[in-house]
């Protein structure tokens, strides 16, 4: 509870500071200046050829051409930045913050008392998981929703696609939390569970660049690497999908998200089976 309240306080301070510190000067749909914490900047972006997408150079000076940053581009950039931070660090911190809930749930004496109640083990474990996910969901709504409202209120652009970050972060946390829960139930070691969860995220970063790694491996190791890609959650590729949606870009495939969800469901099934049969 103290950790959760601490996260709420830090989140509140973050978006309140953003509310009062950020000021925009908008001229004809472009940002003339950005003021934040007393610092003033004139944001610009490169001018690109609409057909090739290459940056255009000035004929006389040879320098790369720049133009004032459009308000839409600014909002998309801020939203992508906030989502990336909330996605990566939010899930990592969320795992750490919810670990005491798992520890307390499986603590000797407490688990014995819970199992003595007239309730099935399936409902007991499902209620525990639902409680953890509810806490993470509320924190995500508070952070993402608060930042989204501040940026939208300041700019007048209500980019509702950014709110898709809320279910995305919650679902991906649930996927990674399946590693924590199943490992904790099987071994009663929350330390091992946390290490495996963080390890899964680390391995996902390597699997995300499989196109560069697989051609350098032998046929056996390449097949094994590809197999791991299809089995383990694609943590970082899901983040890329979400940033594409927030930027209104075309998403070529939702496979990384679907395979990650299937991984989580499979682990939860194993966790429920182990919990229902284990003698605590």
pLDDT at res. 173: 92
13 in a domain, yes or no? no
Decide if pLDDT at 39 tops 70. no
43 in a domain, yes or no? no
Average pLDDT over residues 231-236: 88
Higher pLDDT, 27 or 9: 9
Average pLDDT over residues 25-34: 48
Average pLDDT over residues 237-256: 83
pLDDT at res. 18: 64
Kindly report, residue by residue over 78-128, the tens digit of the pLDDT.
777 777 877 887 788 788 777 777 777 778 778 888 888 888 889 989 998
pLDDT at res. 33: 45
pLDDT at res. 266: 95
Neighbours of 38 (CB within 10 A): 6
- Helix (H/G/I), strand (E/B), else coil: 62: coil
Decide if pLDDT at 243 tops 90. no
Q: Nearest-CA neighbor of 142 among 261, 21, 1, 6?
A: 6
Output the average pLDDT for the chain.
78
60 in a domain, yes or no? no
CA 52 to chain centre: 32
Q: Domains in the chain: how many in total?
A: 1
59 in a domain, yes or no? no
Decide if pLDDT at 272 tops 80. yes
- Name the least confident of 1-15, 61-75, 183-197, 228-242: 61-75
113 in a domain, yes or no? yes
- CA atoms lying within 13 Å on the CB side of residue 195: 5
In this structure, what token pair is assigned to residue 29? Answer: 């749909």
Decide if pLDDT at 163 tops 90. no
176 in a domain, yes or no? yes
Decide if pLDDT at 34 tops 70. no
pLDDT at res. 72: 66
Residue with tokens 């953003």: 18
pLDDT at res. 130: 92
Q: What is the pTM of this model?
A: 0.80
Percent of the chain exceeding pLDDT 90 equals: 12
Beta bridge partners of 22: 36
Decide if pLDDT at 32 tops 50. no
Decide if pLDDT at 132 tops 90. no
Is residue 3 very low, low, confident or very high in pLDDT (cuts 50, 70, 90)? low
Structural domain that includes position 127:
71-277
Query: Residue 30 has what DSSP assignment?
Result: E
φ and ψ at residue 250, rounded to 5 degrees: -80, 130
Strand ordering across the sheet containing 30-36: 22-27, 30-36, 39-41
Decide if pLDDT at 37 tops 50. no
162 in a domain, yes or no? yes
114 in a domain, yes or no? yes
């Amino acid at each position: 509870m103290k950790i959760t309240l601490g996260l709420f306080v830090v989140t509140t301070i973050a978006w309140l500071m953003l509310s009062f510190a950020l000021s925009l000067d908008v001229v004809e749909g472009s940002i003339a200046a950005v003021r934040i914490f007393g610092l003033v900047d004139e944001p610009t972006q490169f001018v690109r050829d609409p057909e090739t997408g290459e940056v255009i150079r000035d004929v006389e000076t040879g320098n790369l051409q720049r133009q004032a940053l459009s308000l839409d581009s600014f909002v998309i950039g801020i939203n992508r930045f906030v989502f990336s931070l909330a996605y990566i660090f939010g899930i990592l911190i969320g795992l750490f913050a919810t670990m005491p809930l798992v520890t307390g749930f499986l603590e000797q004496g407490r688990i014995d008392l819970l199992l003595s109640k007239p309730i099935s083990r399936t409902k007991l474990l499902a209620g525990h998981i639902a409680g953890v996910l509810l806490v993470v969901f509320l924190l995500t709504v508070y952070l993402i929703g608060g930042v989204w409202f501040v940026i939208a209120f300041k700019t007048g652009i209500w980019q509702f696609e950014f709110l898709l970050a809320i279910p995305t972060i919650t679902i991906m946390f649930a996927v990674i939390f399946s590693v924590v829960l199943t490992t904790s139930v099987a071994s009663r070691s929350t330390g091992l569970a946390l290490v495996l969860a963080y390890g899964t995220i680390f391995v996902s970063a390597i699997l995300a660049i499989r196109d560069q790694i697989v051609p350098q491996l032998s046929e056996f190791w390449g097949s094994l690497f590809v197999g791991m890609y299809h089995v383990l959650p694609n943590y970082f590729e899901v983040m890329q999908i979400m940033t594409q949606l927030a930027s209104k870009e075309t998403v070529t495939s939702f496979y990384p998200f679907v395979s990650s969800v299937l991984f989580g469901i499979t682990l939860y099934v194993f966790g429920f089976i182990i919990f229902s049969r284990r003698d605590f």
